[in-house]
Amino acid sequence: MLVTEGNFDQCLADIIADQKVSLDTETTGLKVYKQDRLFAIIISTALEDYYFNFNDEPDHLGNKAPVILPRNLIPLIIGAVLKIKKVYKANAKFDMGMLEKEFYPMETPLEWPEVHDVLVMARILHNDHQSYSLDSVASREGLVKLD
């Protein structure tokens, strides 16, 4: 579901109600504490996927996204995530750092809920594989990574 300002509050309420979510961020690069910025947050519950878009830059064809949320809503999303019991994530350390950067400039660390990094868990559970990419881990579990 593409989150708009009109359905924003209901989406956050639905996310908090689930209490177990997966979370991903889309960013302009991999330098969390440098110039790179978050431009989207994706949160999935058991019933729905929520796409929060903050990217106001045009794509390679010059088109802008149909819905661009104001960046001042990012702390509200993070606040909702902080109320959840369990978050499942790939590359959790990166995304949590990017979210903290967007929440405020690291004055006080956020107290995250129970975060499970699925790639770290895969390595701990099965330490004998060549690759631990999301594609590889999903394939070994009989799943297919969606684009």
Q: What is the DSSP string of 22-85?
A: EEEEEES-S-TTTT--EEEEEEE-SS-EEEEE---S--TTSPPPS----GGGHHHHHHHHHT-S
Rg (C-alpha) for the chain, rounded Å, is: 16
pLDDT in the model for residue 82: 83
Contact indicator for 106, 100 with CB cutoff of 8 Å? yes
pLDDT in the model for residue 129: 67
Q: Is 106 left (phi over 0), alpha (psi -120 to 50) or beta?
A: left
| Burial of 107 from C-beta contacts in 10 A (0-12 / 13-18 / 19+) | exposed
**Can you give the pTM of this predicted structure?**
0.76
pLDDT in the model for residue 32: 67
Q: How far is CA 92 from the centre of its chain?
A: 9
Name the strand (E) or helix (H) holding 114. strand 114-117
pLDDT digits (tens, 9 = 90+) for 7-53: 999 999 999 999 888 888 888 877 766 788 889 999 999 899 999 99
pLDDT digits (tens, 9 = 90+) for 67-90: 999 999 988 898 888 888 877 767
